[in-house]
Amino acid sequence: TQATIPYGIYYWRARGQDPNGSNSYGEWSSTYSLTISLGGGIKVWDGNSWTMKPVKVWDGNSWVTKPLKVWTGSSWELK
Reported pTM:
0.41
pLDDT grade for 27, boundaries at 50, 70 and 90: very high
- The phi, psi pair for 23, rounded to 5°, reads 60, 30
Length of the chain: 79
Per-residue pLDDT averaged across 20-34, rounded?
90
Paired sense of beta strands 69-71 and 63-65, if any: unpaired
Give the C-alpha distances (Å, rounded to integers) separating 38 from 48, 68, 69, 74, 75. Answer: 20, 11, 11, 14, 13
Say whether pLDDT at 79 is over 70: no
Please state the domain extents for the chain: 8-78
Three-class secondary structure of residue 72 per DSSP:
coil
